[in-house]
Chain A
């Protein structure tokens, strides 16, 4: 018996090690997607870091990142521009994974945290903080609290003999509208400056993000992304419906609760750092799924797609109107929607490329 057995068929290669007894299914197209997306993200990031009031050659960005080169450039790259690039990557990944999780537990591609009120909850809390003057409360913790509160409310209201995917979506939409109304009410009461400040945050913004934004978000993603990937064993059966999943030995309610906690935490941390960057959570998992030719959003590929979407959108925003700090959310909305439409038209059905 050989140490490694490989067997190939279209779209999937299985491998089996005799010792340790590890085995699994590899999907070459998915791997290729991940590598391609990661490479593109790095390139976009370097170009993004190179772009600004003080232009640096993109080729010098990588040496500067490791501390080589002109000390002035190193300072600009590492202290001023790298945090923004990292926040874009981390927030994009967090939104995308969260979206993929919600689409999985509800079995509905339209269910994403922007649709079912979790972003809206975070937004309401932050706008309330800005408008009512939270007494020195900082915005990120407020956003976190708002997102968690909205998620808790949704799950409480949806939990009747176990929350089903359909109920979560319906209750979530109702909660989203309640939060949006509250936000609108707060904005009508606000002073002009406050309102401007709040609206700038409302669309999702990367301007002026420093290391203080990177750290909490980075820690959250470092814990929650692997958690989401480990939960993949449960999500694979959940895709087949609750009854089949339970028949296959998946603890359905526990799995859903774990996924929900991970998804909500991801989106809450990301929203706290950047504001609700629109459309990433909805589109990135779907784009990744179609690129990889799979029947469900792949977690890691979705994370990379989200990172690329936000990084590229931020770069575009700065290229299109160089003098104005265009919020990144404006671009992700336009760009992501167009790309998703193109994919839908081109493939005509999910995963048919596989």
Chain B
């Protein structure tokens, strides 16, 4: 009943078959490449994404932005092989991801879906420990590598003291960090996060995003996340992907991509784009109907 242990072992980068020690650690091979080709995604009859091509920049933080229902979460789910393409493909190191053994993919690509729900009474350490599932076999449920990965994930997310508390008793911010810790403990070189800052107050949003930067800088992980806040996207993304109606409208370095024209096209919002006084990245200031007035209709970049 063990799900393809031998198949998964062969996929393991560790020669002795034990759980790979931090595949994303410094000094390890380059992160795997993730790309979408002529991707068409549907829910039943409804086409959400059509003819999409994307190369995820390895070792970088990419942020997908777009209005509600533009297909950004759908794209993320497809990149994580949670959704099979109607046509086209998502390729992990050049192989179609939905044809690879799911356990093998789970050692390369981690996904944290939007608003996951933990069963009542599940403790934080048990939740984070489940992130080790793709590295475990039924006789090896808590190897030294598992223990190290879980401790490191708890420490990185700042919830070591909460380890024995039930997840459902935590505050929203703590809970979200526990889920991220689970994804971190999975130790995948590619990490996909669907709106990791939803339901968090500002300080926890910044905590989570700083944590993402740590994971990227320290471990060299490739991160793709969906964010709602354009200014956070601009500040934290190396590569921003703007989507509208299932297509990529523009992508690249935030400073080049996020312009008032693009925001108007993607979000249907008039705005002024200036430079973030702290980082110099684009800062989007929406105009709205009541502010700015006719004096400031034309956007000024820089």
Query: Is B224 located at the chain interface by the 8 A CB criterion?
Result: no
B113:A9 contact, CB within 8 angstroms: no
A351:B121 contact, CB within 8 angstroms: yes
B80:A350 contact, CB within 8 angstroms: no
B81:A246 contact, CB within 8 angstroms: yes
Chain B residues positioned under 8 Å from A21 (CB to CB): 18, 139-140, 143
Report which of B102, B120, B127, B146 forms a contact with A249, defined as CB distance below 8 A: B102
Interface string of B94-136 (1 = CB under 8 A from A): 0000000011111101111100111111110111011101101
Query: Is B142 located at the chain interface by the 8 A CB criterion?
Result: yes
Chain B residues positioned under 8 Å from A210 (CB to CB): none
CB distance from A293 to the nearest CB of B (A): 7
Interface string of B135-169 (1 = CB under 8 A from A): 01011111110110000000000000001101010
CB distance from A247 to the nearest CB of B (A): 4
A24:B164 contact, CB within 8 angstroms: no
- A-B interface contact total, Cβ < 8 Å: 137
Report which of A10, A107, A240 forms a contact with B130, defined as CB distance below 8 A: A240
Q: Please name the residue on chain A nearest to B44 by beta carbon.
A: A161
* Known contacts A234-B3, A237-B130; A14 and B142 CB within 8 A of each other: yes
Report which of B8, B116, B138, B146 forms a contact with A240, defined as CB distance below 8 A: B116
Q: Please name the residue on chain A nearest to B129 by beta carbon.
A: A25
Give A168 to B8 CA distance when docked, in angstroms. Answer: 31
Chain A residues positioned under 8 Å from B105 (CB to CB): 249
Give A43 to B264 CA distance when docked, in angstroms. Answer: 76
Chain A residues positioned under 8 Å from B107 (CB to CB): 249
Chain B residues positioned under 8 Å from A295 (CB to CB): 118-123, 126, 166
Query: Is B186 located at the chain interface by the 8 A CB criterion?
Result: yes
Report which of A24, A231, A248, A354 forms a contact with B106, defined as CB distance below 8 A: A248
B118:A240 contact, CB within 8 angstroms: yes
Q: Please name the residue on chain A nearest to B132 by beta carbon.
A: A248
Give A236 to B163 CA distance when docked, in angstroms. Answer: 18
Give A350 to B122 CA distance when docked, in angstroms. Answer: 9
Query: Is B278 located at the chain interface by the 8 A CB criterion?
Result: no
Interface string of A218-251 (1 = CB under 8 A from B): 0000000001001101101101110110111111
Report which of A227, A251, A294, A354 forms a contact with B102, defined as CB distance below 8 A: A251
Query: Is A333 located at the chain interface by the 8 A CB criterion?
Result: no
Interface residue range, chain A: 35 or more
A351:B166 contact, CB within 8 angstroms: yes
* Known contacts A21-B18, A233-B136; A351 and B122 CB within 8 A of each other: yes
Chain A residues positioned under 8 Å from B202 (CB to CB): none
Chain B residues positioned under 8 Å from A334 (CB to CB): none
Query: Is A167 located at the chain interface by the 8 A CB criterion?
Result: no
Query: Is B1 located at the chain interface by the 8 A CB criterion?
Result: yes
Chain A residues positioned under 8 Å from B118 (CB to CB): 240, 295
* Known contacts A25-B129, A248-B131; A354 and B121 CB within 8 A of each other: yes
Give A294 to B168 CA distance when docked, in angstroms. Answer: 13
Chain A residues positioned under 8 Å from B166 (CB to CB): 295, 351-352, 354
Residue among A16, A25, A244, A296 having the largest count of chain B Cβ atoms under 10 Å: A244
CB distance from B19 to the nearest CB of A (A): 10
Query: Is B82 located at the chain interface by the 8 A CB criterion?
Result: yes
Chain A residues positioned under 8 Å from B111 (CB to CB): 243-244, 247
Chain A residues positioned under 8 Å from B113 (CB to CB): 241, 243-244, 247
Query: Is B2 located at the chain interface by the 8 A CB criterion?
Result: yes
Chain A residues positioned under 8 Å from B120 (CB to CB): 295, 349-351
Q: Please name the residue on chain B nearest to A353 by beta carbon.
A: B121
CB distance from A159 to the nearest CB of B (A): 15
Give A233 to B207 CA distance when docked, in angstroms. Answer: 32
Give A352 to B119 CA distance when docked, in angstroms. Answer: 12
* Known contacts A243-B111, A295-B126; A251 and B3 CB within 8 A of each other: yes
* Known contacts A16-B143, A16-B144, A22-B140; A249 and B106 CB within 8 A of each other: yes
Give A352 to B127 CA distance when docked, in angstroms. Answer: 16
CB distance from B73 to the nearest CB of A (A): 11
Report which of B8, B134, B143, B168 forms a contact with A248, defined as CB distance below 8 A: B134
CB distance from B225 to the nearest CB of A (A): 14
Give A15 to B3 CA distance when docked, in angstroms. Answer: 23
Chain B residues positioned under 8 Å from A236 (CB to CB): 130, 133
B121:A243 contact, CB within 8 angstroms: no
Chain B residues positioned under 8 Å from A20 (CB to CB): 139
Q: Please name the residue on chain A nearest to B81 by beta carbon.
A: A246
Residue among A11, A227, A230, A243 having the largest count of chain B Cβ atoms under 10 Å: A243
**B contact residues vs A (CB 8 Å cutoff):** 1-3, 8, 18, 44, 77, 80-82, 102-107, 109-113, 116-123, 125-127, 129-131, 133-134, 136, 138-144, 146-147, 163-164, 166, 168, 183, 186
Which 4 pairs, one residue from A and one from B, show the smallest C-beta to C-beta distance? Answer: A351-B121, A249-B106, A249-B103, A249-B134
A-B contact pairs, 13 of them (CB 8 A): A15-B142, A16-B144, A23-B140, A230-B138, A239-B122, A241-B116, A243-B113, A246-B81, A248-B134, A249-B3, A255-B3, A295-B126, A351-B121
